[in-house]
Amino acid sequence: MLLIVTLGVSTLCASQASATDLVGSVRVIDGDTIDVGTARVRLHGIDAPEQGQHCGAGGSGHWACGAWVTENLRQMVEGRMARCVELDRDRYDRIVARCFVDGEDVGEQMVSRGFAVAFTRYSMDYTTHETAAREAGLGLHAVAFDPPAQYRKRSAQKATKNAQKECVIKGNISRDGAERIYHMPGQRDYKATRINLSKGERCFDTAEDARLAGWRPAKR
């Protein structure tokens, strides 16, 4: 009797799990993001070049690898039916999921063909597929390219550096994130204050703009 009950519970759990799967027609957003029906989905475990990213160095030339990867994913799955298993939510509240088209794992296919890399910060699921693609010189591995995470970090640093040059009023966030403070030219800490856009810090044209945005003036 206990065995029968256990099997019954297992069957019920499996049924509930399958009921939560996301199913719908695919629209490709970029190399690792798709819409499945009306839901925005970030493909689990992979990282593809950013849409505006360029690859290649030396004799390889410079080419729009981000757009190229997006187009390859589009040819693979655009308009087809996908089944996605939600695993998490990212900081943009997108569904992070493993998605299947005709029974094939889309993320695995992207990495195996050299269109994306394993996103080892979050998952080790596709590391062997990346190694095989790299050794075979497939896709991105046939040329020089910056890993997408490295490209994003460098782009953020460049944007922050430009912001420092153009900043008039510096909107700074305290280390514990509790306070948003703006510094005016001439104040004691103005020159030493650095703006980190990735943390949500920003520049303002006027003190009024800063106050309206919810920032308070620095005391010194």
Domain endpoint, select from 149, 171, 186: 149
Domain endpoint, select from 149, 168, 183: 149
pLDDT tens-digit readout, 43-70: 999 999 999 899 986 545 588 999 999 9
Going by pLDDT thresholds of 50, 70 and 90, the confidence category of residue 5 is: very low
pLDDT tens-digit readout, 139-186: 999 998 999 999 888 877 776 666 666 678 888 898 888 889 999 988
For residues 166 and 143, state if they share a domain. Answer: no
For residues 90 and 177, state if they share a domain. Answer: no
For residues 140 and 93, state if they share a domain. Answer: yes
Domain containing residue 85: 20-149
Going by pLDDT thresholds of 50, 70 and 90, the confidence category of residue 14 is: very low
Of 62, 96, 108, 99, nearest to 80 (Cα)? Answer: 99
- Asked, for residue 169, whether it belongs to a domain, the answer is yes
What local confidence, expressed as pLDDT, does residue 113 receive? Answer: 98
Q: The domain spanning residue 102 has which CATH number?
A: 2.40.50.90
Q: What total number of domains does the chain contain?
A: 2
Query: What is the pTM assigned to this prediction?
Result: 0.67
For residues 88 and 183, state if they share a domain. Answer: no
For residues 202 and 111, state if they share a domain. Answer: no
Q: Which two tokens stand for residue 12?
A: 């019920």
For residues 113 and 180, state if they share a domain. Answer: no
For residues 140 and 87, state if they share a domain. Answer: yes
Percentage of the chain beyond pLDDT 90 is 55
Strands (E), the chain: 22-30, 33-36, 39-43, 46-47, 81-89, 95-101, 104-105, 117-118, 169-173, 180-183, 202-204, 216-217
- Asked, for residue 75, whether it belongs to a domain, the answer is yes
pLDDT tens-digit readout, 98-151: 999 999 999 999 999 999 999 999 999 999 999 999 999 999 999 989 999 998
